[in-house]
Amino acid sequence: MLGGLVAGGAEGLVLIQDSVCCEGRTLLKSFVEASARRGESVHVLSFEVPEEEFQAGFSTEVTSRVLLHDVFRDPLGWAGQGSAMTLGEFSAAELVGRLAPAWPGPATVMLDSLSWLLLRLPFPSVCQVLAQLPRRAKVTGMRIARLVALLHGDLHQPGQLETLHALARAVVMLEPAPGTATPGDEAPRVAVTSHRKKGGKALQKPSSLPQKEHFTVLPGFILKHLGELPQHGISKEDSTEDGRVPATADPTANLTFNLCLSEAQRQAKESVPLPYHFSQEKKSSLLQTPASQGKIYYEPDAADDIDEEDPDDDLDV
């Protein structure tokens, strides 16, 4: 699923949520590299790192199609550099004017990072810009196919993360791969990906558990898929060795009591009749219709006071 997202399989807001244990900027650059090679115009709003650091590692072909709007250099406009983008320009109207299409066709906007904005601007206003930007750009003739934003999950409250997840079309949550000793740009990582259709239904594979994918980012920011991960953290490719399936643990082993029945115990259990299980003979005797109907005969006692007009006359009321 992650490879499909990088290849342009989702439109709208795509969140890459990382943490201090697993960085996500290299995956964001994979989206930049894939979008540029598809011929899209790529706009990068760089808030956290300078322009030179973000462009490091890209080929000349990719950088020629990337328009980087540097906010890191002068975020408040104090230096008076007119070409640099400032924090006050983060609005739907201002961004559409700055993100004028340099090439015909769809455009991809990268935010590095969304957390930088959320720590400096009101949360509702940032969400409004994310929702209004594609519609405002469409009015001017510009088509923003997707917004890819890097989000540092350990810097925000759970309620804010849930709101952003509901706003996004796809969410990629990054985790360090099991057994990774030293983190790095090419270190294996785990992506837990959820994709929501246009109708609003969220898709996760398998249906009951989210899909975990093992991946790495090669030089040049090429995404390499290493296989899916089950819940115990071992990839499907490594789950078998020499064609042998690994043995599963027996939950009934090492117990102080016995949960299993022997063959003799099972036969004895099956031979015991169930409660209220009647035999055919007893069923036929109970269901047999009697030859004559029964009658009830009542003989009153001498002390009985039977009065047809007032049957309750003998009651002390």
180 exposure class (CB count in 10 Å sphere: 0-12, 13-18, 19+): middle
In angstroms, the CA 165 to CA 213 distance is: 19
In angstroms, the CA 4 to CA 10 distance is: 8
Per the CB < 8 A criterion, the answer to whether 188 and 180 are in contact is yes
Its CATH architecture, for the domain 2-236, is 3-Layer(aba) Sandwich (3.40)
pLDDT, residue 165, reads: 93
pLDDT, residue 131, reads: 92
pLDDT, residue 234, reads: 47
Low-confidence ranges of the chain (pLDDT < 50): 204-209, 233-237, 239-243
Contacts of 95 (CB under 8 A, 6+ apart): 89, 129, 133
pLDDT, residue 226, reads: 82
